[in-house]
Structure 1
Amino acid sequence: MTVEPIRGAVEALLFVAGEPLSVARMARILGVGEGVVREALAELAEACRAPGRGIELVEVAGGWQLVTRREYRRAVEELLQPRRQALSRAALETLAIVAYRQPVTRAEIEAIRGVQSEAGLRTLLERGLIREVGRKDAPGRPILYGTTPLFLQMFGLKDLSELPPPSAFVPPDAPSLDERGATPGTPPDGGTSTPGPGAS
């Protein structure tokens, strides 16, 4: 199979997947080498940059995905708005703390926010944006939380090193999470953690 039909096959896979696909996975599905897939991705990315195209190819969350071009996202969001319920401010604040302090316990999150966070954690778990990644080596062995690949996908990040400032997660009129300790550092009560098998 030449690169041109491979490019078409890669585009079809990315179109139906609806989530990032790794080079290795696409190569395995198509029965070709990873170099061939990378060449096809380069050609597809170039084709998507042509004027008038509504989608673009991006590297995100450890894979590649076809997404709406930025200039057309408002129209797409208008279409999807009735189907999507926005995260509350409390959930966004909780998500920011998990993203920057992970692995982190509920007690640590509540110490930073100053209020209970059980509902926000439950919402984020249901949305698939955070997950349980282990237990902390502390009395009661509380659950540790971390973000998921879907979180990276939602915010268009290749990995956690690309995290924006904490203020990007909350409305501009909300109190600064930086000042409340959402940025990376030592957990409020110290101690060590025991990551679970899903931790990265």
Structure 2
Amino acid sequence: MNKEQQIGILESLLFAAGDEGLSTKQLTETMEITYIEALNLLESLGEQYEKDASRGLILLELAGSFQLATKKENASYLRKLVNTPQTTSLSQASLETLAIIAYNQPITRIDVDEIRGVKTDGPIRTLVAKGLITDKGRAEGAGRAKLYVTTSEFLDAFGLSSIEELPKLSDPSTEPEQDEMDLFFDKFNRTEEE
């Protein structure tokens, strides 16, 4: 494998690592290269970003980890993106996942999967990206899974001042045409579509 291919792999790894970044030890183990080779690749990638003014990324080293970051010159555009209201509504899977988290928080993804009966990786990623849920610590025990909770953005989106204002769950023995919780989440989708 040539150096350009290695730089491409390095860039992919750094992108996938996100804010956590990667240490040189992780790079050497993952790419099966020496410490010196890892440093040389990091230096080459950093130089490529510096030399090409049209690139929107830079390579940062923070506390012994390397990560990709956006150039500060592009901050105003990133702010616009973050502050732009989302026009897409949530899928049924995302709404179900959000309801489970809201009523059972803090809860692990595995527990959400068990309640829904299907995997919820995608809906959880969507909800985190929209800022409606976040991870808040780790569960005790094997694996130390992330615990998910709703955010203040969730409360704002649903017009709640606290989680205690969530509609009460109906008794499963009585099956209304559409219970209060369904109406509540339908209201959210209508608001998002407007």
| Range of TM-score over shorter length | 0.3 to 0.5
TM-score (norm 1): 0.42
TM-score (norm 2): 0.44
Tell which has more relative contact order, 1 or 2 (C-alpha 8 A, sep 6+): 1
